[in-house]
Amino acid sequence: MTALSEDHPGERRRYWLSFAALAIVLPAAILVSSWSSLSEWRRSHTTAPLIVERGATRSYAGAQWQLTGLTRVRTGLPGEILIVAEFEAAVDDPELLRNGPCQVVLTDDRGRRWLPAFIPARIVRQVLPATVDKPRCSALAKAEHGHKITMAETFTIPENATGLALAVTAVSARPEFLIFKY
């Protein structure tokens, strides 16, 4: 490393000014380069719920959506049950519906959230065999105008959960999302 020479008195001042400028410019550059990512993150977080009362149908993301059932199934394990959520989408605009994946979350009145089980439990196959063959929310990629897509998702939740609601989000319709009260 070269020592700053005393022959050039302005050199030391320029060194510290450039160092101070770096402390300002570097965070600004990071902010500018990540602004689009931050904007996308903010836009992607769902913030506008569309409440759907029990038995009602709601237009959303190119389809008419309805929750057709929310069935409790005992697992045999203490304090745990399975919830099988059955819902359908009657396709009005297949392009809008196909424009991204669908996400499903089960919530309760205490604010707890559960994601669907990857594979339905064996007990669901025994008690509700027709639901096991129903597609998951990912079936929207095959949407065609006029078709009705019936779907089912399985959740493992605590037995004491009350006030259940199913939240359905289609990427193409964000920031809006459906909340089916049951």
**pLDDT digit string (tens) for 56-113?**
999 998 899 999 999 999 888 899 999 999 999 999 888 887 777 789 999 999 999 9
Within this chain, do residues 26 and 98 fall inside the same structural domain, yes or no? Answer: no
Q: What is the mean pLDDT of residues 132-136?
A: 81
Within this chain, do residues 71 and 58 fall inside the same structural domain, yes or no? Answer: yes
Q: Report how far apart, in Å, the C-alpha atoms of 163 and of each of 73, 141, 166 are.
A: 16, 31, 10
User: The pTM is what?
Assistant: 0.69
Q: Give the number of other CB atoms < 10 A from CB of residue 73.
A: 18
Within this chain, do residues 38 and 103 fall inside the same structural domain, yes or no? Answer: no
- 121 belongs to a structural domain: yes
Number of domains present in the structure of the chain:
2
Within this chain, do residues 100 and 153 fall inside the same structural domain, yes or no? Answer: yes
Model pLDDT, residue 64: 94
Cα 55 to the center of its chain, rounded Å: 23
Nearest CA to 177 out of 88, 121, 123, 102 is that of 102
Domain span at 108: 48-181
Within this chain, do residues 156 and 84 fall inside the same structural domain, yes or no? Answer: yes
The CA distance from 66 to 55, in Å, is: 7
The CA distance from 152 to 86, in Å, is: 4
